Amino acid sequence: MSRKPIIAGNWKMNKLQSEAKELFLGIAYFAERFTKEQLPTIVLAPTFTSLAAVESMRCDKCRPLVAIAAQNCNWEKSGAYTGEISVDMIKDAGCEYIIIGHSERRQHFLETDEMINKKAKAILEGGLIPIICCGETLEQREAGITDSHIASQIKAALAGLTEEEISKSVIAYEPIWAIGTGKTCDADEANRVIAMIRNVIKDLSSIAAGDAIRILYGGSVTPSSIEEQMSKSDIDGALVGGASLKIDSFSEIIANTMKVTVK
Ligand code: 13P
């Protein structure tokens, strides 16, 4: 079983257009030193307002090496939904991936499992790939309900999807207490939870889907943490926040990922 690693940068609500272009170009310049086969799948998620600016910087050489993503979407196709952006619009802007269900969206914008499921379906129907986030709070971890909470988030997000749709989706396990805190989850523990997620998917869909789906870790990932994380059996990459906002640290995360043998 070989799962190509993914290193994704979630820029969150950061970077004006000129800064986003500069960051993209720095990462693209780094990536162009390698072949597509050598590199992990690289995905960058700028804000909606910077997507067009970043897309305009994607040349023929870097386009296949660096994909772009949106950080959210609406499940409706079009219409009277002021402030919302559809999957078709995101595709039209050049994106191949859409991050959904990030804990910041669940917490601050009251996104529910049901909404995340509708988004996942709309994204896959539109021909893009969802990066579906899940994760527990510190209280849930301390109460010993991490696994049951994550399993229920995963089952709800993937409800009604076909085996093929699940196989091409991406999951990001991001313990909330590890996001932006500098408190990286222990790599063995992150691997244990991710293996548990894979088993949930095997039960829900098929063994093949559980083996194929790529599951990332997110939460205070740095150039020095990634190598150990990538050496674990079930961690297929990272969803990076803070360290994705600088050319040097994100490039180093990519470089260190390439040191670890593909699973
Ligand atoms: P940090 O890497 O800043 O902890 O953020 C993780 C994250 O939320 C990525 O989506």
149 tagged catalytic: no
CA of 180, closest atom in ligand 1: 4
Pocket test for ligand 1, best of 6, 7, 12, 133 (most atoms within 8 A of CB): 12
Residue of 2, 67, 5, 3 lying closest to 31 (CA atoms):
67
pLDDT in tens, the chain (263 residues): 689 999 999 999 999 999 999 999 999 999 999 999 999 999 999 999 999 999 999 999 999 999 999 999 999 999 999 999 999 999 999 999 999 999 999 999 999 999 999 999 999 999 999 999 999 999 999 999 999 999 999 999 999 999 999 999 999 999 999 999 999 999 999 999 999 999 999 999 999 999 999 999 999 999 999 999 999 999 999 999 999 999 999 999 999 999 986 65
79 alpha carbon – ligand 1 mean position (Å): 32
The amino acid that residue 50 corresponds to is S
CATH topology assigned to domain 6-261: TIM Barrel (3.20.20)
Atom 2 (ligand 1) nearest CA: 241
State residue 2's pLDDT score.
84
**Binding site membership of 107 for ligand 1 (Cβ less than 6 Å):** no
Quote helix, strand, coil % in the chain, to nearest 5. Answer: 45, 15, 40
* CA distance between the termini of the chain: 7
**Binding site membership of 219 for ligand 1 (Cβ less than 6 Å):** yes
CA of 133, closest atom in ligand 1: 10
CA 229/CA 122 separation, integer angstroms: 31
State residue 262's pLDDT score.
60
Residue of 137, 171, 129, 140 lying closest to 154 (CA atoms):
171
Beta-sheet strands, E only, within the chain: 6-10, 41-45, 66-70, 97-100, 129-134, 170-173, 214-218, 237-240
Among 102, 104, 136, 165, the active-site one is 102
- Using an 8 Å Cβ cutoff, are 236 and 3 in contact? yes
**Binding site membership of 241 for ligand 1 (Cβ less than 6 Å):** yes
**Binding site membership of 10 for ligand 1 (Cβ less than 6 Å):** yes
For 146-160, give the DSSP string. Answer: HHHHHHHHHHHHHTT
